[in-house]
Structure 1
Amino acid sequence: MDLPKISIIFPIYKKSKHLENNIKKILEDPYPNDLKEIIISIDSPEDDFLNKLMELKSKYKNITLVISRERRGKVSATNDAVKISSGEILFFFDADVFIDYINIKGIVDELKEYDIIEFYKEIIKKGWLGYLMFIEFSLYFDIIDPILNKTKSPLFLNGSGFATKKSVWNDVEGYSKVYVEDVDFAMKAGKKGYKYHMSKNVILLIEPLKSLRQWIDQRKRWSFGLIEVILNHLDYMVAFFIQNMLISIFILLILYLPYLIWTYIYIYLPASFLYQIAIGMYENLSKNISFIYLIILNPTSIFKVFYILYLTLLYTILTSSYIYLLISIKRRKLYNFLSFILFSVLYIPLYEIILIYDIIYYGIFERAPKMNWKV
């Protein structure tokens, strides 16, 4: 049986510390090496890394380099690489991924039924930020994406690692010059009826971002990218949710169950016990502090403080415990619960604030906030 030729594309900015390991993993895979074409499309390469690329090209004859001294951006770097590719199937890997496992033949076989194959991804748990990003990615790739898989329709796509048929890429005209080119690509493919699947025939480990500043910049780009996608593909998104109503409702229920429980408690359950505590505290305070302070510190004001603390603590316990149970049961492993508390009280709210900021910014200026990202 004839096997198709594959083109493996690495868009890189400046350098990639995992590139050599990834090339070895790809070439060690039993899929015939004469059917593997590796294209490294790099912007503004650092001198040491450029020397390393030349060594790799001399060592492995099926490597092609596309070098730009200027920063073209990931979209152009990827599109330029595809233009010179000769494979029927395209594999894409970002510079910050580490190929933990790869079965090329498995992906090729899956592409007989599907048109876009997303690779399973996991964040390397390095530092507190890495642990929080690990939780976020696990929620998506272990909980949400397996459910979306049942629709076979592309809705989201993490472009740091996926495969597609070259015919599909050409039909949707590759990456568009937008902030989340990968999700945009998935939407364009979905409109044409192409099928999506998430596969564990390739497992990627991804380096976490090094600082909170980098994380904010990335999430600012992702949030505005979401606005872009909604504006450009609202018709497809609405059609997706209508055609997959039960799955969509199920996913929303999974995502927002803690909020629903919290809201129910907030609206319907009495908190009279807090008022009794407030009265008791007020009576104790009245025996020990000046009446001037008691004008400000009345039972109602004390109750309001307790009520806010109560709702905040309730939200933290509900959300942290729920996410912890979801991930621990799915992955059959126990994790550090403190990280899940940080995820609930810091990570999620900060992400929501960034999204709201982008929406307000776009509403006022009708353009994206300033970002360190070449589009």
Structure 2
Amino acid sequence: MTPPPSLTATALRGTSPPAPAAHSASPTAPHTRAAGPGTAARPARYVPVRWKFTFALLVGILWMGFSIYAADAWIRDLGHVVSPWVAYPVIYGIAVVPGFMNAFLVISLLLDRRPAANHAVATLPGISILVAAYNEETNIASTIESIARQQYSGPLQVLVINDGSTDATAQKLAQLDYPWLQVLNLERNVGKANALNTGLELVRHRLTITVDGDSYLHHNALSNLVRRYMSDPPNTRAVAGAVLVRNSRKNMVTAIQEWDYFHGIAAIKRLQSLYQGTLVAQGAFSIYDTALLRELGGWAHTVGEDIVLTWAILERGYRVGFAENACLFTNAPETWLQFIRQRQRWSRGLIEAFKLHWRLLFKARMSTLFIWWNLLFPYMDLVYTFAFVPGLVLALLGVYWIAGPMTLLVLPLAMIVNYLMFAVQSKMFIEQGLKVRRNVLGFVFYALFYSVVLQPACVLGYIKELVSRSKNWGTK
């Protein structure tokens, strides 16, 4: 069995602590690496990634078999109330499929031994940073100042595309004076993808980084991101940074999301990177090969422009990595309405990616497993929304058809999963001189109740993508 979706669904998605105190080649040529043609030095006892993948897959299958056996009585009982044709997909969506995913996740994280990034190069390659900003008068100055504090050793170009903001964003940018800063004030709002493409035309360097306009980069974020890109396998063409919550102290909504970004999103990106296919190099903070960006036509005018771009890179056969120690802090939605709109947009982006890059389902590579996982998310979200949540209500009335004493038996496993993710992330924080905030109440709500809002919001996003053609910035 496995924790119900309310405990673990966020950790399984590929779809971003408090703020801190204070090389590439063309798509057809291999990377040039300062330390040699391969990646950074391997551990003395190196276990091939494919062996890790095979072992984790085997354990996941065995756990799924146990889940099927343990759920048999549960399915029979529910089948007496509703049709067995309903009972099977409901229980499989609540327990069996997530059980496989959780077992695979746990084993993979236990086996993950990331090679150290290459720190032998004193001078890093030139980078161009694109910052698309829309009505960011409150945050844009601190975002640019955090870039200035990086003390990045290589050539730097920063292009801020003010996408027709109606507030004082342009005035705030006019007050900044840095030799590497260039501001493009667009007369009207054209959307994030088009704004980024406008900046891409002026990029001078072989590596392009995107940064959100309401973010704050930790002091070594840029160098850590670039070094990971340089140290990853030669066919890497993008690397996602680690996006964390900046405004977690604002209220309970942001406090809960702190754990979502710190735990679930970071853990699944680390897992996908291990198997050479991070599914979302998020626009908030990622690095790309400039030549490949231009070859692909930049960002598509879609709701989920970052996931669509990432899948385009994967479809070309390239690898997308994850730099867990390249930390950027961003403002999370501060109300449940903003949060729901954000997750609707993320869910729409997933459907867009499948529409445009469905061929990835049939690519013979390890990361294909995660594409199939994403294909199952709408199914699990529907089951959770229309079966498990009503089951919780029935359980409060003493009717345990779906949620009941058997559900409670999986709570210890949920705690083990969360502890493992916490241990992995905490180690990274210590290495970066950061401290994990004591946010116990936020964690309790994240672990037990987060999906009550998250998964119905995702369902609304799927429906909206099927019936709506509008492509707006919305919330990030």
TM superposition score normalised by structure 2: 0.59
Deviation readout 1:127-158 (Å, 9 max, x if unpaired)? 21112212221233442111111222342222
Distance 1:315 1:99, change over 3 A: farther
Deviation readout 1:185-218 (Å, 9 max, x if unpaired)? 0000111122211114521111121211111111
Residue 278 of structure 2 contacts residue 322 of structure 2 at CA under 8 Å; is this kept in 1? no
* DSSP 3-state at the match of 1:205: strand
The match for 2:140 among 13, 19, 37 is 19
Residue 42 of structure 1 contacts residue 68 of structure 1 at CA under 8 Å; is this kept in 2? yes
| Identity in percent | 17
Residue 264 of structure 2 contacts residue 421 of structure 2 at CA under 8 Å; is this kept in 1? no
Query: Is structure 2 residue 157 aligned with structure 1 residue 37?
Result: yes
Larger mean Cα displacement after TM superposition, 166-175 or 105-114 = 105-114
Residue 39 of structure 1 contacts residue 66 of structure 1 at CA under 8 Å; is this kept in 2? yes
Matches within 5 A, 1:166-245: 166-200=290-324, 202-236=326-360, 238-239=361-362, 243-244=365-366
Larger of the two Rg values belongs to structure: 1
Aligned-partner Cα distance in 2 for 1:86–1:10: 15
Aligned-partner Cα distance in 1 for 2:175–2:459: 47
State the aligned residue count: 323
Residue 91 of structure 1 contacts residue 163 of structure 1 at CA under 8 Å; is this kept in 2? yes
* DSSP 3-state at the match of 1:75: helix
Partner of 1:115: 237
Query: Following TM superposition, by how much is the alpha carbon of 1:118 offset from its aligned partner in structure 2, in angstroms?
Result: 1.0
Residue 238 of structure 2 contacts residue 319 of structure 2 at CA under 8 Å; is this kept in 1? yes
Aligned-partner Cα distance in 1 for 2:268–2:286: 17
Amino acid at match of 1:230: F
Distance 1:191 1:200, change over 3 A: same
- Name which structure has the greater RCO, CA cutoff 8 Å, separation 6+: 2
Question: Between Structure 1 and Structure 2, which shows a larger proportion of helix residues?
Answer: 1
Aligned-partner Cα distance in 1 for 2:210–2:261: 19
Residue 395 of structure 2 contacts residue 404 of structure 2 at CA under 8 Å; is this kept in 1? no
The match for 2:197 among 66, 79, 83 is 79
Residue 175 of structure 1 contacts residue 185 of structure 1 at CA under 8 Å; is this kept in 2? yes
Aligned-partner Cα distance in 2 for 1:111–1:12: 25
Aligned-partner Cα distance in 2 for 1:104–1:362: 34
Larger mean Cα displacement after TM superposition, 126-135 or 305-314 = 305-314
Amino acid at match of 1:182: D
Amino acid at match of 1:13: Y
The match for 1:325 among 419, 425, 434 is 419
Amino acid at match of 1:10: V
Deviation readout 1:290-329 (Å, 9 max, x if unpaired)? xxxxxxxxxxx99972536735972894586355423433
Residue 26 of structure 1 contacts residue 102 of structure 1 at CA under 8 Å; is this kept in 2? no
Distance 1:69 1:119, change over 3 A: same
Query: Is structure 2 residue 474 aligned with structure 1 residue 373?
Result: yes
* DSSP 3-state at the match of 2:188: coil
Residue 217 of structure 1 contacts residue 371 of structure 1 at CA under 8 Å; is this kept in 2? no
Partner of 1:307: 400
Amino acid at match of 2:452: P
Aligned-partner Cα distance in 1 for 2:169–2:261: 29
Matches within 5 A, 1:121-132: 121-124=243-246, 125-126=248-249, 127-132=251-256
Question: Which segments of 5 or more consecutive residues in structure 1 lack a partner in the other structure?
Answer: 256-265, 267-300
Distance 1:160 1:361, change over 3 A: closer
Distance 1:201 1:139, change over 3 A: closer
Partner of 2:214: 96
Question: Which segments of 5 or more consecutive residues in structure 2 lack a partner in the other structure?
Answer: 1-120, 378-387, 389-393, 427-435
Aligned-partner Cα distance in 2 for 1:323–1:94: 30
* DSSP 3-state at the match of 2:175: helix
Distance 1:323 1:28, change over 3 A: same
Query: Is structure 2 residue 471 aligned with structure 1 residue 349?
Result: no
Aligned-partner Cα distance in 1 for 2:464–2:175: 46
